[in-house]
Amino acid sequence: MKESILVIGAKGQIGSELVEELRRINGSSNVIATDIKEPSPELRDGGPFVQLDVLDFPKLLEVVKKNNVKQVYLLAALLSATAEQKIKSAWKLNMEGLLGTLEMAKEEKFKLFWPSSIAVFGPSTPKVNTPQFTITEPSTVYGISKLAGERWCEYYFQKFGVDVRSIRYPGLIGYKTEPGGGTTDYAVHIFHEALKTKTYESFLSANTALPMMYMHDALNATIGLMDADPSRVKVRSSYNIASMSFTPQQLADEICKHIPEFKITYKPDVRQQYADSWPQSIDDSVARADWGWQHEYDLAKMTKDMLEHIQQMVEH
Ligand code: AKB
């Protein structure tokens, strides 16, 4: 029986692009997309889709068994800003979802990808070039759930040999799907507003530097780590990866090179606190040495590509 890949949370910011890329590489019929929400037309028409809640483990197990699933990408989660509003549901989804899937990976012997985040770091972590192994004392609900998740991944690998792999994503920027409920979301919204209204009111202050990454690089990292020989995956909690760091002002300056009339204003809200607790830049030398991670996009290249693609989408 042919082997399949399952993506849980396929309608999200990463999921929708990852499904497309995995289908391009592995063939549409071999990649099953699932989400708690109704499928988008692209997801429904592009290959198999099952509407399902990740916490419905009997149904999830049925899909895994029926389709001989050998790889699972578990992307269903509540992000930082939403998790702060919905503490218990965030813990339930982010933790029970992972624990249930790790248990299933142990029994069904599939390889599992689980996303962690720069949110595992907190105010006591060194902020610049944050190392792979350092203080992790997160001060957000989301960060606490990601740190606990990393420990569970390491535990299931050490104790049961589950082949689980993970990346600490920085803020992700893509043009296909907008993020929801995160703190780094401004770096996506700003592009849409720059093209639509030539203005943007940032909810983070001008000089808030955060690690960021273009979706193209994030997908390469994710698939690259999943494809790496197991002997090269030496960190089983989660890997730091990095490509660029910038502030809202630096991003606005870069946008101005393409749209000179663009104006940014600042009205920091509660998300400022979460951003202030995270690193400004990340040292990812361990991922580069272990499994050959490399990035392609810097601030200038990403900005140009984002503006071109969003413009094209508006025109069509
Ligand atoms: C968020 O802002 O919550 C996420 C993250 C940094 O993991 N993008």
Nearest-atom index, ligand 1, CA of 118: 6
Which H or E element spans position 210?
strand 210-214
Fill in the amino acid letter for 196: K
Q: Tell which one of 85, 169, 203, 282 to mutate to probe ligand 1, the residue whose CB is within 8 A of the most ligand atoms.
A: 169
Pairing of strands 171-173, 210-214: parallel
SS3 147: helix
**CB of 183 closer than 6 angstroms to any ligand 1 atom:** yes
| Nearest-atom index, ligand 1, CA of 179 | 8
Which residue, judged by its Cα, is nearest atom 8 of ligand 1?
171
Q: Residue 115 phi/psi, 5° resolution?
A: -85, 125
Name residue 261's amino acid. E
Domains and CATH numbers, the chain: 4-171+213-240 (3.40.50.720), 173-212+243-282+296-315 (3.90.25)
Q: Give the pLDDT means over successive 10-residue stretches in the chain (316 positions).
A: 95 96 97 96 92 98 98 97 97 97 98 98 98 98 98 98 98 92 97 97 98 98 98 98 98 98 98 98 98 98 98 90
> What phi, psi does 199 have (nearest 5°)?
-140, 160
pTM: 0.97
Q: Which residues are catalytic?
A: 142
In the reported structure, the alpha carbon of residue 172 is separated from the centroid of ligand 1 by a whole-number distance in angstroms of 8
Torsion of CA 235, 238, 239, 240, to 10 degrees: -140
Beta-carbon contacts of residue 131 (< 8 Å; ≥ 6 apart): 240, 283
What is the atom index within ligand 1 of the atom nearest the CA of 169? Answer: 7
Which residues of 4-78 form beta strands (DSSP E)?
4-8, 31-35, 49-51, 69-74
pLDDT for the residue numbered 59: 98
Nearest residue by C-alpha to atom 7 in ligand 1:
117
